[in-house]
Amino acid sequence: MNRIVAALSLTAAFAAGCGVTHFLRPALAADNITAQVIHTGELEGDALSPANAAGMRNKTFVVAEGATVAVQDGSPPKHLHANAHEIQYILEGTGTIWLGDKEVRVKPGDLVIIPKGTPHAGTKPDGRTIKAIAIKTPPQAPDDVKLLN
């Protein structure tokens, strides 16, 4: 009897999961996710993007309902995002960055966690600028950058 109840419960859970997936499919259609391999080492100069006025280069690869994933290269001025958390994984470059109220050293392989509202900036690279994978959650709105002095 317990096996029959367990089998029926599993079947019902599977059917419910399929039904939910079917109904949620339109909501997920707004996501911009494709299966791909991104060769970050090949993303240099204009292959990443033209530099903006601050000299930053940025290319977004994933836009999803809850986050964006981009590769950034450069030293942005001190700023904060009031509504988006940012996680950076340092790919290339060493030096110091502003994080909160202090400068901290970073190197390839470091993971930088920047909660929303935290001042941050690229300041003093040792040689090449710092290139990082930047994940922002929720996705950063165009007006969610407040420049600081």
pLDDT digits (tens, 9 = 90+) for 103-137: 999 999 999 999 999 999 987 888 888 999 999 99
* 3-state helix/strand/coil string of the chain: CHHHHHHHHHHHHHHHHHHHHHHHHHHHCCCECCCCCCCHHHCCHHHCCCCCCCCCEEEEEEECCCCEEEEEECCCCCEECCCCEEEEEEEECCEEEEECCEEEEECCCCEEEECCCCCEEEEEECCCCCEEEEEEECCCCCCCCEECC
Please state, rounded to an integer, the average pLDDT across all residues of the chain. 82
pLDDT value at residue 28: 38
